[in-house]
Amino acid sequence: MLGAKHPPNNEHIDDNMVKMEVNLDDISGEWLGYVMDLLFEAGANDVFYSPIYMKKNRPGILLQLLCSSQKLDKMKEILLQETTTLGIRYYPITVHRMERRFITVETKWGMVTVKQGISTKGEVFQSSPEYEECKQIAKEHNIPLKKVYAEVWKKL
């Protein structure tokens, strides 16, 4: 289940991370989706967009991403080639990752993996069913996704 792209599951500090951001205008939503896919494929840990207002009250998009410092050059290359930006801001950032574990929950439609966040006291503080597995069950059984999630939550 856990591949090379996943961080360690134990609580740890990532201090070699970078947050990058660009202000974008005159870019279509389709391009933004494509850029997000490319950034994740290149190793971004997270990519997100926020609506902003820029100079002269022009609407725009703030693209932000988190990645390891080793991936900085590849991310810059994608941003410059695939977006309308003329400049990139980036700065070091520290990420405190909590311990996580994976459990399997049996539903009436099949098994679903649930990622759990574990506090420093060893208590579960967050549980998140794996979206792709829930989506697959919803499609296979022709039921609403929210019904699959509700079934998983009942089992936790």
**What is the number of helices (H) and of strands (E) in the chain?**
4, 7
Mean pLDDT of the chain: 91
- 54 closest CA partner among 81, 27, 92: 27
**How far apart are the C-alpha atoms of 114 and 135, rounded to whole Å?**
14
Q: Distance of alpha carbon 44 from its chain centroid, rounded? A: 8
% of the chain exceeding 90 in pLDDT: 81
Stated pTM of the model:
0.73
For residues 80-108, average pLDDT: 93
DSSP secondary structure of 47-109: EEEEEEE-GGG-EEEEEEEEEEGGGHHHHHHHHHHHSS-S--EEEEEEEEEPEEEEEEEEETT
Structure confidence by residue, pLDDT tens digits, 38-83? 999 999 999 999 999 999 999 999 999 999 999 999 999 999 999 9
Structure confidence by residue, pLDDT tens digits, 121-143? 889 999 999 999 999 999 999 99
Longest Cα–Cα distance in the chain: 56
Q: What does the pLDDT read at residue 13?
A: 72
Q: What does the pLDDT read at residue 135?
A: 97
Which band of pLDDT confidence, cut at 50, 70 and 90, is reported for residue 8? low
**How far apart are the C-alpha atoms of 122 and 99, rounded to whole Å?**
9
114 with 104: CB under 8 angstroms?
A: yes
Domains detected in the chain: 14-96 (3.30.70.1380), 99-155 (3.10.20.300)
For residues 116-122, average pLDDT: 89
For residues 13-40, average pLDDT: 93
